[in-house]
Amino acid sequence: MGVPGKSPKVSSFIAALCIAVYIVAIAFGTVQIIISMGERRNLAEREFYDLADRATSSSVFLGFMSEAYQATIRDFLGASDTLLGVIITGSDGEYAFEKYSGSGIVWAADSPRFKTGLGLSGESFFLPLGIEGQRNVTIQANYSRIDYGFCQKILRQTLLAILSALIVAFITLLVERTIKNRSDYYKTTYKEKEPEQSVQGDDEERKAPKGLYNPRGNIGWDSYTNDRLSAELHRCSSFEQDLVFLAMELTGQEKISDSLYSQFTDEAVNLFSLRDMIFGKGDNGIAIIMPNADLNEGISRSERFHSRIISKLQGLSVSQSGVPEIELNIGLSSRSGRLIEADRLILEAHAALEKAIADPDTHIVAFKSDPEKYREYIRHGSITKVK
């Protein structure tokens, strides 16, 4: 009586142990694959930015879309661990490159598009490029979300763990049958339960800007400003050119109307010409990159733009005292030969803008840097008022 009494306890323990092994093995494999996908995305992002830098620098030395330039892009893509396809959009059209034929690009009406599906990214990296002599040049790339070699390794380990548990369960079943010799007992007491597998839903897609331009003002998205300014600073430093960054804002209302904002941005495009160098800044402002221009030229353009806005935009109504109810304030800063980061230049322009807003007699303020102390905190700089 002792042995039969212990048998159900042993089989229950082995069954519970096997279920635990199943769950742990599957959970471990799933977690490892998810982590691998995250690391792979980070690697793909790094490779994408390396490719963007290569595309920008190669355009200078080899010529944009020359045979040598295209060979450079293909060589980089062939050596990439993650990138499958690249689309470069320039003023002359779209150019597509693949890691190998059929890997990442499909064509629709002579226009390249990225493939989607199992193993391919549901998103693509996007970055405007600063190419000399070209406007609105962008680069996009998709990548393989899954490292198949790593996944095969994880699946083999998971399968070995499950098979080991199954072997233990099978041996336990044979021993129990030998001891008890009652097949009906085994049918009712030793039923392996399939481990409950939680189905992991897809991650919610990040809400990100769609396309190159913001539909409210038909200018670049605010979130693209830093990346484009970084690219332009890199290009200007390579050619020892100056660069001016302007931050401007219409004040007097918490949020101006869409029609007034559209007129505001249209005037900016008309005067500053390069739409891809103009970006949104909050609800009432815009930011402008002026490559190959110094601070004096930036101030001159700002004065002309301020006069044009005050005289042309219908939304700038004047109160009975003769003072505009809505005013345009502009802050600007320049590279001035410095090896400066985009964040710092933006900070300087914003500081100048805040000074212009705070001073009712001055609507244009330029941040004038001290070349010997420009790395110090912004309070060591000087502010130049432009009336």
Q: What is the pLDDT along the chain (387 residues), one digit of tens a residue?
A: 444 444 556 667 777 777 888 788 888 878 887 887 788 888 888 888 888 888 888 888 888 888 888 888 888 888 888 888 888 887 777 888 888 777 778 877 777 878 776 455 556 778 788 776 677 788 888 887 777 777 778 788 888 888 887 887 778 777 777 766 654 544 444 444 444 444 444 444 444 566 788 888 889 999 999 999 999 999 998 888 999 999 999 988 888 888 889 989 999 999 887 888 999 999 899 999 999 999 999 999 999 999 888 887 655 555 545 556 788 999 999 998 888 899 999 999 999 999 999 988 889 999 887 766 655 644 555 555 554
138: CB partners within 8 A, 6+ apart: 88, 89, 126, 127, 128, 129, 212
Residues 357, 322, single domain; the answer is yes
Q: Which of 169, 201, 233 is the last residue in one of the domains?
A: 201
Number of domains making up the chain: 2
Q: State how far the Cα of 114 lies from the Cα of 106, in Å rounded to an integer.
A: 6
Give the range of the structural domain holding residue 343, as residue numbers without chain letter: 213-386
Angle (deg, nearest 10), helices 225-238 and 2-62: 50
Q: In what order do the strands lie in the sheet with 83-90?
A: 93-98, 83-90, 137-143, 125-129
**Does residue 224 belong to any structural domain of this protein?**
yes
Q: State how far the Cα of 353 lies from the Cα of 362, in Å rounded to an integer.
A: 10
Residues 4, 99, single domain; the answer is yes
CATH code, 274: 3.30.70.270
In a 3-state reduction of DSSP, which class is residue 366? strand
**Does residue 206 belong to any structural domain of this protein?**
no
**Does residue 186 belong to any structural domain of this protein?**
yes
Q: Which of 175, 201, 227 is the last residue in one of the domains?
A: 201
Residues 276, 340, single domain; the answer is yes
pTM of the entire structure? 0.44
Q: State how far the Cα of 308 lies from the Cα of 302, in Å rounded to an integer.
A: 10
For the chain, how many residues are written? 387
Side-chain half-sphere exposure of 31, counting CA atoms within 13 A: 6
SS3 annotation, 12-57? HHHHHHHHHHHHHHHHHHHHHHHHHHHHHHHHHHHHHHHHHHHHHH
**Does residue 208 belong to any structural domain of this protein?**
no
